[in-house]
Amino acid sequence: MKKTIIYIRVSTENQTVRGISLDNQEDRCKSYCLLHQFDNIEVISDKGVSAKNTNREGFQKMLSMIKKNEVGNVVVYSLSRFARSVKDTLSVLEMLNKQKVNFHSLSEAIDSGSAVGRFFLTTLSAISQYERELTSERTSSVLQYKKKQGYRVGSVMFGFDLDIDGKSLIKNQEEQKTIKIIKDYKKKGLSFNEIAKQLIDLKRNNKKGKCIWHKTQIIRLYNRDYN
């Protein structure tokens, strides 16, 4: 039989505030479970931890149980006890939905198994999607404006750096040297895999400043026209 998880949490600054103590949350959630005839109940708590921290121990334990398909219901006193941001809340709720776990929040009267609860979650999802699209549109507008002004947008190819004016490219001498090494090794008959190993042995860095090279990177740099 799958478990019903009662998740309760208080942060350091409001542990003693009347109405949201751990004991109060637990009592109210248990009453809700009794009313709805939920059994096989396990209480998981996080004490003195902010909702901003999704890595809190109890919260992660609950998520682990959900992923293992051990949970049928999650009951919380309020969404604020569960997660702080819409993004975090929606991310977890989407996982609950995928695992076919019903979510119940007493303060907001949310029951994901009901039509009203599903409507609320759909609305929450729509708001989150709207915010993402709005951010994307703003980013696109800024990039288009910079492009019209002659500024370079996007990544800079290996072998070059962006000049201080933000518009023109200048040669990166160290990266140009790496390109020459690749060309020279290829003339000697080395395979792309062998060249990658040679660059690592020579401690040549890639564009991200890491000494990590793969066959596909070498092929791309070898075939690129740098004129």
What single-letter DSSP state applies at residue 155? P
Q: Among positive and negative, which fits the CA dihedral 172, 178, 182, 183?
A: positive
For residue 215, count other CB atoms closer than 10 A to its CB.
Answer: 14
Answer yes or no: 11 catalytic.
yes
Per the listing, tokens 């401690």 go with 203
Cα–Cα distance list, 81 to 22, 35, 51, 154, 209 (Å): 10, 21, 7, 41, 42
In the numeric block, which tokens belong to residue 104? 């119940």
What single-letter DSSP state applies at residue 216? H
In the numeric block, which tokens belong to residue 98? 């995928």
Which is the catalytic residue, given 11, 45, 105, 112?
11
The catalytic residues are: 11
